[in-house]
Amino acid sequence: MAGKNTVFQQKSTLNVRAKLLDLSKPKIMGVLNLTPDSFYDGGRNNNIHDALQKTEQLLSEGAELIDIGAYSSRPGAEHISEKTESDRLIPVLQALVKEFPDAILSIDTFRSGIARIAVNEGAGIINDISAGSMDPEMFQTIATLGVPYIMMHMKGTPQTMASQNIYKDITTEVLQYFTSRIQKLKNMGLNDLIIDPGFGFAKNLEQNYELLANLEYLKSVGHPILVGLSRKSMIYKLLDTDAEHALNGTTSANTIALIKGAKILRVHDVKAAIEAVKIVNQMNSLRY
């Protein structure tokens, strides 16, 4: 990748259920896992009461989006049926929509059927780890629903991705991956798109950091960048610790991502991420 001074113009607003979400300043997406086996907080929010309490905490700390996942995508996670995913997700989603009617709720799913039901129940964004590759109906479903779509880079599936981390030039390949998918979606009339480079998904430690170092190049696709670095193994393995003790490393990595152009941080720890955004915003306001 050559040339460090190119200026890229990113789309700065998203239309979420007829309301504009302004991304001219970075936003925080709080993670709400409904799975029993997620790598950090699996099993902590598996009933409606706990999920409501966790969501209230995330929103009170400053999260402007809540990402709800009922399918564990950690490396080697068990593949579950669509019914199991739906049974975990929909009752909690219904309760959240009732309790927090103004909250922007994102659904972390690769299944078009789940996406359709969730949007009909009040979700505003679909977050797809497979960018349409695990369900051929997803793109058309999103086009029909007309909701913002987060597409992540991944090779293989959560069950096979650990063996798929073969690249000649990871930054170029990730960029090409998004460019082709964005063109398909734009041809279907979709413009509210967000890209996620997929840290930890079919990437080893060195590849993750190479992609982080080159993150600004992904701005060339013209759509906001979301990063999910929170407490991942690329952080805690480098620091010789574990996910429970990876908050400081997460904040450091998130700060780098913000400086390089990330517009949404997907995090477990909202307060720390808000502070990182404030510091980077202050620096940027005095840069010119």
Closest to 191 measured CA to CA, from 145, 148, 152: 148
Provide the whole-model pTM. Answer: 0.93
Write down the mean pLDDT value for the chain. Answer: 92
- Cβ(89)–Cβ(34) under 8 Å? yes
Would you say the C-alpha torsion 53, 56, 62, 66 has a positive or negative sign?
A: positive
How high is the pLDDT of residue 3? 44
- Cβ(226)–Cβ(10) under 8 Å? no
How high is the pLDDT of residue 164? 87
Note the Cα 144 to chain centre separation in Å. Answer: 22
Confidence of residue 159 (pLDDT cuts 50, 70, 90): confident
- From the list 266, 271, 278, 287, the catalytic residue is 266
- Among this protein's residues, is 232 annotated catalytic? yes
How high is the pLDDT of residue 51? 93
Structural domains present in the chain: 22-285 (3.20.20.20)
Task: Find where tokens 């659904």 sit.
Answer: 107
- From the list 27, 155, 219, 232, the catalytic residue is 232
Task: Please state, in angstroms and rounded to a whole number, the distance separating the CA atoms of residues 96 and 123.
Answer: 10
Q: What pLDDT, in 10s, does the model give residues 33-88?
A: 998 755 445 455 678 999 999 999 999 999 999 999 999 887 767 789 999 999 99
For 186, list phi and psi in degrees, rounded to 5.
Answer: -65, -35
Task: Please state, in angstroms and rounded to a whole number, the distance separating the CA atoms of residues 271 and 28.
Answer: 9
- Among this protein's residues, is 278 annotated catalytic? no
Using the predicted structure, report yes or no on whether residue 5 has a pLDDT greater than 70.
Answer: no
Confidence of residue 157 (pLDDT cuts 50, 70, 90): confident
